[in-house]
Chain A
Amino acid sequence: MTKKLFVIMLAIACTYFMVSCSSKKKVTLDEDTQPVEEETFVPVEEDIRIHDLEDDQDIVMDEYVTAEGYVDDIFFQLDKYNLDEESRRILDRNVRWLKDNPRVKVLIEGHCCDIGTVEYNYALGDRRANAARDYLMLNGIDPARIKTVSYGKMKPFVLGTLESQREMNRRAHFKIQRY
């Protein structure tokens, strides 16, 4: 009886050990030397997986130009990254244009207003850019065509502390790659 209990406890201990190990995989910091299969560090609770490409040619920002007139930026409430109806309508239009122009790649920049700290806003900007990216992906845009970058509050569109000015800075900004 005690033996049985011991075996069960051992099994539980092993499982716990395996689980705790899996949540602490090492991450390689140098993407250039990182083979694709090492992407297994992506934790299990993630619902969306990025298929990160190895072609780092398009990592250079200069190749992207402001997409005004082709695709439009979306805006966010203070400290929020959820997409409201207006944002989804704009993104639907962006999706249609990107489907009509299948060779275009897009860079989505996440931006925040000056309220909030530098560090937290880097993370918030990341979420805003990813909210837009996720929406494009769910609507059939190949994730390989989308890159994101967060500027937090470090690259505002408008300087000033009026609410109307701050609103302009809480956005996901789209840039496209020119051919």
Chain B
Amino acid sequence: MKREYLCFLVFLLFAFSALYAIDDQVYLTISRQGSGKTPVGLMNTIDRAEGKMTGLTKECDNILGFDLSVLGYFDVYRENELTEEEKMDKNHIKDDPSYHTRLRAVIFAYIEESRGGDISLYGFVRDPFSGERLISKKYSGPAKNFRRLVHTFSDDITYALTGEEGIANSKITAVWVKDNSKEIIIMDYDGRNMMQVTSDGSISSSPRLSDDQKQLVYISYKDGYPNLFLRNMETGDTRKITRSRYTKSSPAFSSDGKKIAFAMSINNNTDIYLIQDLSTKQAERITTARSIETSPCFSPNDRNIVYTSDRAGIPNIYIMDAGGSNSRRLTYGGQYYESPSWSSCGNYIAFVSMNYGRFDVFTMNIDGSSPRRLTHLQGSNEDPSFSPRGRLIVYSSKEKGSIRLFLTNTEAEFNIPITDNNMNIIQPHWK
């Protein structure tokens, strides 16, 4: 009976082309009615030597739970939410025709700490219907990289069950607002593992990582005037790529990491300039209006640039070809619109809209249609930036004097703070 039902379901999926193939593998998502998400069971992680849960195993469960829930693909059931049947292994399943489970996959892991200070994570994912192990891997590394081991396991789970690359090892760069300076910081996408990149005691802002996370471009006033700096994130070498008194802001890498667009004010006119080749020290002016043009962001295919212009009196979002021609206005609501961020899957632009002196984060289609408000918090919500693959958005929210970073998704299903009240952090950018 069960099998017949499944066959019928598969047939239906074929009929409506809901079956999709990625990398020659076929992924069939069977999900709980209504939620549209894949139900997975997350068993408690066990310390292999002690045979029980420890502080570290609980941390592992928390990281896995966050990584798998926040993406929006999965309904995560913790072990205490599962029936005895759902926890059972494959031998029981084969023998019992009445076996019933809500789950599409069961995730379980062991942790082993070795004497040398290394940690190993044994990660498994089991298909409850076939009993087959979809993932059976050992992740090892120094204890300080523990979170990274777990994030890597999360990404493997995401890939195995959805066919899409995970984002648990992505990075967010941002600006730490200190009393007398602004410094660039970098953190994991969950706000943890925060590290300071600059310590110039000056104003640094507008950090942008290249897609491969290897290069960072930012603005620094450390030599008196705002100039663009390029940092190699592997070696730490930092190079000043502009050297002039003109005001420069909002650098943006092209997706291939070879070009940088940025805003520069020459003779009281802020326009967008494009550095075609980072070795030449030449920039081409690509907007020509007398108004302010700033905040460029490349489309994922590098053919277009979305940017802000106040040529209509107040800042609005525009789109143009990457060479500067064929400019079209996207926002017409009569508010102050700024900070466009193009989703890396290509179909949305996130931006901010001002309302009574505070901002909210919105998304719209790339033709300007279907604007959708994502934040309804009290404070001012600024600087949205899409995650890799475009499912999530990070933004800064200023409320009661402190500025924290929050994550939301394109459906605005949640707003999760990822940084603390005791540090003011602005200008997040996600790669």
Expressed in whole angstroms, the Cα–Cα distance for A122 and B269 within the complex equals 12
Q: Answer whether residue A3 sits at the interface, using C-beta atoms and an 8 A cutoff.
A: no
With a cutoff of 8 Å between Cβ atoms, the chain B residues found around residue A28 in the complex are 281-282
With A45-B290, A59-B225: A117-B338 Cβ-Cβ less than 8 Å? yes
Please tell me which stretch of B146-154, B236-244, B327-335 contacts chain A, meaning at least 4 of its Cβ atoms lie within 8 angstroms of it: B236-244
Determine whether the beta carbon of A29 is less than 8 Å from that of B314.
no
With a cutoff of 8 Å between Cβ atoms, the chain B residues found around residue A114 in the complex are 398
Among candidates A32, A41, A122, A130, residue contacting B285 with C-beta atoms closer than 8 Å: A41
- Total A-B residue contacts, Cβ distance less than 8 Å: 144
Determine whether the beta carbon of B263 is less than 8 Å from that of A25.
no
Determine whether the beta carbon of B338 is less than 8 Å from that of A27.
no
Determine whether the beta carbon of B247 is less than 8 Å from that of A30.
no
With a cutoff of 8 Å between Cβ atoms, the chain B residues found around residue A119 in the complex are 206, 249-250, 263, 294-295, 308, 338-339
Q: Answer whether residue A150 sits at the interface, using C-beta atoms and an 8 A cutoff.
A: yes
Expressed in whole angstroms, the Cα–Cα distance for A28 and B288 within the complex equals 17
Expressed in whole angstroms, the Cα–Cα distance for A116 and B308 within the complex equals 13
Q: Name A46's closest neighbour in chain B (CB-CB).
A: B267
Q: Answer whether residue B245 sits at the interface, using C-beta atoms and an 8 A cutoff.
A: yes
With A27-B273, A30-B242, A59-B225: A123-B247 Cβ-Cβ less than 8 Å? yes
Q: Answer whether residue B270 sits at the interface, using C-beta atoms and an 8 A cutoff.
A: yes
Q: Name B296's closest neighbour in chain A (CB-CB).
A: A119
Determine whether the beta carbon of B224 is less than 8 Å from that of A127.
no
> What are the interface flags for A134-148 relative to B under an 8 Å C-beta threshold, 1 for contact and 0 otherwise?
100000000000011
A20 to chain B minimum Cβ distance, whole angstroms, is 9
Among candidates A25, A61, A126, A131, residue contacting B270 with C-beta atoms closer than 8 Å: A126
A76 to chain B minimum Cβ distance, whole angstroms, is 15
B220 to chain A minimum Cβ distance, whole angstroms, is 11
With a cutoff of 8 Å between Cβ atoms, the chain A residues found around residue B245 in the complex are 31, 52, 59, 147-149
With A42-B267, A60-B224, A120-B295: A26-B243 Cβ-Cβ less than 8 Å? no
> What are the interface flags for A69-84 relative to B under an 8 Å C-beta threshold, 1 for contact and 0 otherwise?
0000000000100000
Chain A: interface residue total (CB-CB under 8 A): 50
Give the residues from 5 to 46 in chain A that come closer than 8 angstroms, CB to CB, to chain B. Answer: 23-34, 41-43, 45-46
Q: Answer whether residue A65 sits at the interface, using C-beta atoms and an 8 A cutoff.
A: no
Expressed in whole angstroms, the Cα–Cα distance for A29 and B243 within the complex equals 6
Among candidates B225, B336, B357, B426, residue contacting A149 with C-beta atoms closer than 8 Å: B225
Determine whether the beta carbon of B290 is less than 8 Å from that of A26.
no
With a cutoff of 8 Å between Cβ atoms, the chain B residues found around residue A131 in the complex are 268
With a cutoff of 8 Å between Cβ atoms, the chain B residues found around residue A33 in the complex are 281
With A46-B267, A115-B357: A30-B243 Cβ-Cβ less than 8 Å? yes
Determine whether the beta carbon of B315 is less than 8 Å from that of A29.
no
Q: Answer whether residue B53 sits at the interface, using C-beta atoms and an 8 A cutoff.
A: no
Determine whether the beta carbon of B249 is less than 8 Å from that of A122.
yes
Among candidates A26, A43, A122, residue contacting B294 with C-beta atoms closer than 8 Å: A122
Determine whether the beta carbon of B244 is less than 8 Å from that of A117.
no
A34 to chain B minimum Cβ distance, whole angstroms, is 8
Determine whether the beta carbon of A127 is less than 8 Å from that of B285.
no
Q: Answer whether residue A49 sits at the interface, using C-beta atoms and an 8 A cutoff.
A: yes
Determine whether the beta carbon of B383 is less than 8 Å from that of A118.
yes
Determine whether the beta carbon of A32 is less than 8 Å from that of B267.
no
Give the residues from 199 to 254 in chain B that come closer than 8 angstroms, CB to CB, to chain A. Answer: 203, 205-206, 221, 223-226, 228, 241-245, 247, 249-250
Expressed in whole angstroms, the Cα–Cα distance for A49 and B398 within the complex equals 40
Q: Answer whether residue A155 sits at the interface, using C-beta atoms and an 8 A cutoff.
A: yes
Q: Answer whether residue B427 sits at the interface, using C-beta atoms and an 8 A cutoff.
A: yes
**Which 8 pairs between the two chains have the least Cβ-Cβ distance?**
A31-B244, A130-B268, A122-B249, A123-B270, A126-B247, A119-B250, A126-B265, A61-B224
Query: Chain B: residues with CB nearer than 8 A to chain A?
Result: 175, 182, 203, 205-206, 221, 223-226, 228, 241-245, 247, 249-250, 263-270, 273, 275, 281-286, 288, 290, 292, 294-295, 308, 310, 314-315, 324, 336, 338-339, 352, 354, 357, 359, 382-383, 398, 401, 426-427
Query: Chain A: residues with CB nearer than 8 A to chain B?
Result: 23-34, 41-43, 45-46, 48-50, 52, 59-61, 79, 114-120, 122-127, 130-131, 134, 147-152, 154-155, 161
Name 19 interchain pairs, CB-CB below 8 A, sorted by A: A23-B285, A27-B283, A29-B228, A31-B244, A32-B243, A41-B285, A42-B266, A43-B285, A46-B269, A48-B267, A116-B338, A116-B354, A118-B382, A120-B292, A120-B308, A122-B250, A148-B245, A149-B224, A150-B247
Known: A118-B249, A149-B225, A150-B226. 17 other contacts (CB 8 A): A24-B286, A27-B266, A29-B243, A30-B242, A42-B266, A43-B285, A49-B267, A61-B224, A116-B338, A117-B338, A117-B382, A126-B265, A126-B270, A127-B265, A131-B268, A151-B221, A155-B203
